[in-house]
């Protein structure tokens, strides 16, 4: 089953009289259960593609589908609702809230969805446990290491039981050992629970555990490896 699809996607940013063609005709399909990395140099369009797949922004041309729903035909509020219900995000823009504990952060998307307290705490705790953070559930983000904070962010995405988890440079602020440990955790969730992941990275050392690697350069997919 195809979970994510981009068809002929172009994205042009316009502002201050400057035009940047960030994506120049991208076709990508991700099936349920995949563990796929988007790689490519800084500025190649990884983040733009993830934003479009998350419905956070609209393509200039082309079509974007998530779980068979055409996102670029939805209104902004329909996209926000769809995202909340079906997509897990690990994005810089959705950092942990500093005033909430790990548990409250992990339960936050469920709270926005109106899931009752008991159930959302149970699901959030389960997700934290799956990321090895059960004993840190009541800590605040500042009391956690960078790697632990990112694991809470993945737990928050997971607790919502999304169709797919989209992660934009989830290891960006981690040293390479901690970054590798995070990718290994994500891979374990993929294997044990069948969670579909699409994440970007510019660190080629993290790719050992990744089955499918899609390479972007200058707004185009220029290659792909499947092992
Ligand atoms: P990556 O994630 O691979 O580093 P991005 O998708 O962030 O690449 O950027 C692709 C191109 O689009 C770059 O040239 C970048 O400067 C440009 N870009 C990204 N976001 C914006 C924006 N909001 N406004 C204008 N240009 C942007
Ligand atoms: P706004 O201020 O526009 O409500 P939010 O930061 O609350 O923006 O979030 C924008 C949308 O993304 C909302 O629908 C929100 O519920 C959703 N959202 C926020 N964090 C996540 C996440 N981790 N996973 C999925 N959806 C999220």
Instruction: With 0.80 as the threshold, say if the pTM is over it.
Output: yes
Overall CATH class of domain 2-226: alpha beta
- Asked if residue 9 lies in contact with residue 71, where contact means CB atoms within 8 angstroms, the answer is no
Q: Return the closest-CA partner of residue 49 out of 34, 30, 36, 64.
A: 64
CB neighbour list of residue 162: distance below 8 Å, 6 or more residues apart: 86, 87, 88
Q: Which of 89, 113, 123, 168 to mutate to test the pocket of ligand 2 (most atoms within 8 A of CB)?
A: 89
Q: What is the pLDDT of residues 85-108, one digit of tens each?
A: 999 999 988 899 999 999 999 999
Q: What is the pLDDT of residues 156-203, one digit of tens each?
A: 999 999 999 999 999 998 998 999 999 999 999 999 999 999 999 988
Within 6 A (CB) of ligand 2 lie 80, 83-84, 87-89, 94, 109, 112, 156-157
| Cα angle, residue 156 at apex, residues 153 and 159 outer, rounded to 5° | 150
Which atom of ligand 1 is found nearest the CA of 169?
A: 2
Specify burial of residue 176 (Cβ count, 10 A radius: 0-12, 13-18, 19+): exposed
How far apart are alpha carbons 75 and 168 in whole angstroms? 23
* ipTM of the complex model: 0.77
Which atom of ligand 1 is found nearest the CA of 47?
A: 2
């Amino acid at each position: 089953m195809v979970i994510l699809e981009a068809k002929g996607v172009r994205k042009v940013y316009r502002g201050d009289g400057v035009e940047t063609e960030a994506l120049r005709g991208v076709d990508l399909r991700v099936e349920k259960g995949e563990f796929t990395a988007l790689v490519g140099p800084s500025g190649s369009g990884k983040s733009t593609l993830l934003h479009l797949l998350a419905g956070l922004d609209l393509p200039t041309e082309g079509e974007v589908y998530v779980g068979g729903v055409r996102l670029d035909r939805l209104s902004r509020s329909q996209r926000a609702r769809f995202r909340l219900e079906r997509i897990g995000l690990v994005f810089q823009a959705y950092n942990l809230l500093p005033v909430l504990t790990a548990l409250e952060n992990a339960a936050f998307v469920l709270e926005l969805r109106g899931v009752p307290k008991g159930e959302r705490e149970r699901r959030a705790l389960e997700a934290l446990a799956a990321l090895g953070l059960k004993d840190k559930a009541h800590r605040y983000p500042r009391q956690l290491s960078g790697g632990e904070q990112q694991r809470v962010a993945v737990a928050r995405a997971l607790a919502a039981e999304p169709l797919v988890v989209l992660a934009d440079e989830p290891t960006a602020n981690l040293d390479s050992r901690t970054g590798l440990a995070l990718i290994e955790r994500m891979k374990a969730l993929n294997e044990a629970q069948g969670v579909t992941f699409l994440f970007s990275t510019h660190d080629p050392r993290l790719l050992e555990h990744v089955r499918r690697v899609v390479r972007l350069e200058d707004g185009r997919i220029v290659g792909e490896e499947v092992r």
